[in-house]
Each structure stands twice: as C-alpha cells, then as structure tokens.
Amino acid sequence: MPHQFFDPNNEEAKKKRLHMAIAALDDMIEWMTSGGCVGIYDATNTTKSRRKLVLSRCAQENIEVMFLESIVEDLDIVEQNIRTTKLTSPDYADQDPELAVDDFRTRIQHYQSVYETLDDDSLAYVKVIDIGRKIILNRINSALPSKIVLFLMNLHNTPRRIFLTRHGQSEFNQTGRIGGDSPLTKLGDDYAHILAEWTLTHLPVDTGKVTIFTSSMRRTIQTTQYIPCRKLRFKLLDEINAGDFDGMTYQQIAEQYPEEYAARAADKLRYRYPRGESYLDLIQRVEPIMFELERQKQDVIVVAHQAVLRCLYAYFTDLPLEDCPFVQIPLHTMYVPPPPNPSFLDWILHLWT
C-alpha cells in the first residue's frame, strides 16, 4: 500500500485498517483459545485507544497480554531496516527502490504523528531501544513473559550465518550402536580434514570472525581438530541420552525390549529412553543453545549429533514439533544458509560421502 493508506487523516483508509486489525486480532484469539500457547499480534498499535481495544478483546478470553514496543533512535538502523527489509515487501514490488524508500519514510511520518508511547504502569510491557542497546521492563512477573524477554535480549540485526553438521563417522556409527563416546573412524577423520579445508576456503577464519560450537564428546571435538579458529564446547549439545540402551543397536533393542521398541516407534517425540531422555527433554535442554546462537554476531559452525541437530534445524526452519524427530541429518553433510539471509532454508551441501 502507498503511504496515503496510512495517513491518519484518510478516514476511509482508517476504517479499512481498523477492520483488518480487528480481523487479525480475532484470528489470533481463535487460535489461542483452540490450544495455542503464544500468539504474536504484529500490528503497530501506536495509540492508547488501539492498545485498549487489544486488551479488551483479549480479556474476554482470559488471554494474558504483554506489549512489545520497539523504539529506534539511531537513524542508521532505520535506514538499514528500510533498505534491507521493506524494499522486499509486496507493497513495493516492481517499484523504483528510491521511490519506495521515500514512500516508506513518509509512512513512518504518519505513524509518528499519532504515536503514543507505552507509559501505563498497569500494563505488562517491554521497550526495546535500538535493537537491544537498552531494554525497559514493566510488570514482567511470570515465567513465560520472562522467557520471552530473555529471547528478546539476545536478538540483533548483525548479519551472520549458522552452519550445521554432524561429526564425522564414529566407531559406534560404523557398528550401528547408539550413544557412547567413541572416537572417529578413518572415514570420520577424512571428513574432519575435508571440513577444515571447506571452512578455510569459504569462511573468514583468518579474521577471527568464525566460532565453532561442539558438544563435550570426542567425536565432535575430533571432527573440528584441524580448523584453526575459536571453539566452544557445550555439554548441552551432547547427543540424546539413550539411558539403559546406551551402546546397543536398534536391532538388539527390538529383540530384547520389544515393548520399548514399539513405544518409541509409536511416539518418537515423547518416548523417553529408560533412565534417559525423550526428544521433548532434548528440546528443552538445547533451548539455551538456541538463544546463544541468536546472540552470535559472527559466523558459527555447530558440530553436534543427529538428534541435537534435528532440534536446531527444526527451530530455525520453523518445522512443526511432531516433525522434529524425523528430520534427515546424514553424516558428512553441511547444512548451509543461503546468503545473505541468516535463517535456514533447505540448502544442503554434501561435502563428502
């Protein structure tokens, strides 16, 4: 839409915008009352009257509301945002870039003319200034809003890439056993050399702007041993805990514990290994790693294990929870984000098999 549609003096457009805003809000409320946990109502809500409307409609369904106000005082950030995100909006498809930029600047002026900041101390809100330079909290006093605040504190707009790969083939991989802390095979060590060569060729290792995340297990550490850059080890990235079945093959589990094998096949997401973990347990365990990856401002290679990488891949690609345990993460494969977008798509680079 051109900037005239957002002019507060355009009464006809004002009615249409209110109609669309209410329709979107009602759609979110319907989803929330049908079992949704967190709904993000992405709207300007620049006036107190609009926020009062949101509160009123959500209160009818006992939905807790937390407002998020993003304030940008740094004009360079504003300009960068316009040119990197708004120009790709359908509103400006096939338009001259400079004309589109001017139009959006005018749209911002329309917003500013009616803008009323959050200052009601009775409301739960977060003010994020200059994308995290300063954060102001008010009445954030329960678990879920606190977790959302933690997530917001780790966001930034610095371009970076996140790469995912499993460790090289291990001795347990070779024999079909799960878990353990076995070293790499000759084939796995060959992959470690290939991974190092690829990293040195394609990433700015010599500038110190590459970090490697590994688990605390030998096979991930050995896979990165030939790459000369900063490395961080996280026990949180260790493979899913197979409990009593650690070191067994799936065939052995099926033969010796058929009921457990059937239970895992019936619900792989929620099945918990005896004295071990389920995928739901694992997702909760790696959540701090997700926040840490969001916080990074340089390229990161995560060298971890199949179940862990399934969780990370599902997070970055917004896959449904039920699909997480079935993501294909083969050995000796790098999952590469397409530049310059720092989020994942289904781009796979087969380094070597």
What domains are there in the chain, each with its CATH number?
A: 3-153 (3.40.50.300), 162-349 (3.40.50.1240)
Statement: residue 340 has pLDDT above 50: no
Q: What percent of the chain has pLDDT over 90?
A: 78
**Rounded mean pLDDT, 120-145:** 93
| 3-class secondary structure, 178 | coil
Mean pLDDT of the residues in the chain: 91
- Separation between Cα atoms, residue 330 and residue 305, nearest integer Å: 10
E strands along the chain, which residues?
67-71, 125-129, 134-138, 162-166, 210-214, 230-233, 299-304, 334-335, 348-349
Q: pLDDT tens across 31-84, in order?
A: 999 998 899 999 889 999 999 999 999 999 999 999 999 999 998 888 888 888
Token pair 């959302």 is found at: 148
What integer pLDDT is reported at residue 343 of this predicted model? 41
- Separation between Cα atoms, residue 335 and residue 162, nearest integer Å: 9
pTM (predicted TM-score): 0.83
- Separation between Cα atoms, residue 51 and residue 179, nearest integer Å: 51
Q: 349: pLDDT confidence band, cut at 50, 70 and 90? A: very low
What integer pLDDT is reported at residue 154 of this predicted model? 85
**Rounded mean pLDDT, 207-229:** 97
**Rounded mean pLDDT, 291-311:** 95
Question: Which residues are the active-site residues?
Answer: 166-167, 173, 219, 239, 305
Q: 338: pLDDT confidence band, cut at 50, 70 and 90? A: low
Q: What percent of the chain has pLDDT over 70?
A: 95
**Rounded mean pLDDT, 124-145:** 93
What integer pLDDT is reported at residue 353 of this predicted model? 36
φ, ψ at 294 (rounded to 5°): -60, -35
Q: pLDDT tens across 150-160, in order?
A: 888 888 888 88
